[in-house]
Amino acid sequence: MKADGMAVWQFDLYLAAGIEKLPDILDDGWQPPILAEDSVQHARRLLEHYLGRHWRLAERWQVFGPENGNRIDLISETPSTTSVVARFDLRDSSIQFQGLVCTLAKTLTCELFSPDLNAIIQPDRNALRMALADICAASH
């Protein structure tokens, strides 16, 4: 299930803290996981350190990384509800970006949620590599 505007080579993982039950992604009311404001601020500092200054895709949408490539987005519905989304470009299997996503998730005590796979992925490079392989296989 690709979000509107996503190319087939793009794959999103949401950082999520304390998921006890998988969200019902088929429900139109599904909302992406929200992180606490202190976690978002910590994420912003780490991302600026590793990826440089963000740019804005929209008023409440900060992007760390290139528009077409591996990147991490901070998307806010309101000032106090922010999702952290790692967007993978499946054409570029950057081991460094995979490591950054795992480090960020571990630092924030998060897991990774994939709406495409409807699965929780542990922030471990091997688990992430397997999930990326699964999504590549499913998209071909």
pTM of the model: 0.86
Q: Report pLDDT for 83.
A: 94
Q: Report pLDDT for 2.
A: 43
* Amino acid letter, residue 1: M
Provide block-wise average pLDDT over 10 residues at a time, the chain (140 residues).
56 86 67 89 95 92 93 91 92 87 96 88 93 76
Q: Which residues pair with 58 in a beta bridge?
A: 61
Q: Report pLDDT for 28.
A: 61
Domains in the chain, ordered, with CATH?
A: 10-18+27-139 (3.30.1400)
CA atoms within 13 A on the CB side of 6: 19
Q: Report pLDDT for 85.
A: 96
